[in-house]
Amino acid sequence: MSGKGDKPCPMDKKKYDESFDRIFGKKNGSQAELTSGQLKKLFHYSPVTGQFIRLQSTPRAKAGVVISSPSSKGYLRLTVAGKRYQTHRLAWLYMYDEWPPADIDHINQIKTDNRAENIRVVSNKENHQNMPTQKNSTSGFTGIHWLKDKGRFLAHIKVNGKQIRLGTFKALSDAVLARIKAEVTYGFHKNHGGYSA
């Protein structure tokens, strides 16, 4: 139990610096990119739960703490040697002893779900083919907008950076069907837009 005179840090600075030097060799970012070996000395990752647990106390955090600090974009992150990392990328490093060669996609579109079965390496294009419906959607569906002046729904899809118009429809269900067919044709992930093909 902490008293008034206790320091807020769970580990004193000198001990932390010595531990840091043992793991990283040198301080202040002079080492090469974080390795899986260094990561495993500081954190435990569970492929089943997707959680990272701190193994060593630092001046700001205690050992045994589950990492749950989201970025402004909703991804979990942690700081190692003064550098912030997204935990889904660290999960890949932890499991495969190498940095992911491309984007990491959360298959179920939940940005904090870093279970091994929910993350995969994809191209940037593939990553954009598994996106949730945007919050500002006027129809509630990805790639479908209500054209107020025409009284119809416009369906479209973006492929290789180009917008493809799929047509306008009186019924929302017809616009959704056109969009789903286009997603199948262009190889989008079945979860894209929040509905399955």
The reported pLDDT for the residue numbered 176 is 85
Q: Rounded CA gap, 164 and 129, in Å?
A: 14
Instruction: Judge whether residue 19 has pLDDT over 70.
Output: no
Neighbouring CB atoms inside 10 A of 177's CB total 14
- Please tell me whether residues 108 and 145 are part of one structural domain: no
Report if residue 58 sits inside a domain: yes
The reported pLDDT for the residue numbered 137 is 67
The reported pLDDT for the residue numbered 192 is 61
Cα–Cα nearest to 133, from 75, 179, 184, 86: 179
Domain termination residue (choose one: 99, 125, 151): 125
Instruction: Judge whether residue 87 has pLDDT over 50.
Output: yes
The reported pLDDT for the residue numbered 28 is 45
Q: How many domains does the chain have?
A: 2
Give residue-wise pLDDT tens across range 27-76.
Answer: 444 445 899 999 999 999 999 999 999 998 888 888 888 888 888 888 99
Per-residue confidence band for 98, with pLDDT thresholds at 50, 70 and 90: very high
Instruction: Judge whether residue 9 has pLDDT over 50.
Output: no
Neighbouring CB atoms inside 10 A of 129's CB total 21
More confident residue, 197 or 152: 152
pTM metric for this prediction: 0.61
Give the mean pLDDT of the chain.
79
Instruction: Judge whether residue 100 has pLDDT over 90.
Output: yes
- Please tell me whether residues 45 and 121 are part of one structural domain: yes
- Please tell me whether residues 30 and 94 are part of one structural domain: yes
Percent of the residues in the chain that have a pLDDT greater than 90, as a whole number: 29
Say if residues 145 and 139 touch (Cβ distance below 8 Å).
yes
Give residue-wise pLDDT tens across range 118-149.
Answer: 999 988 877 776 666 666 666 778 788 888 89
Q: Rounded CA gap, 92 and 83, in Å?
A: 17
Q: Rounded CA gap, 63 and 83, in Å?
A: 19
CATH number at residue 24: 3.90.75
CATH number at residue 145: 3.30.730.10
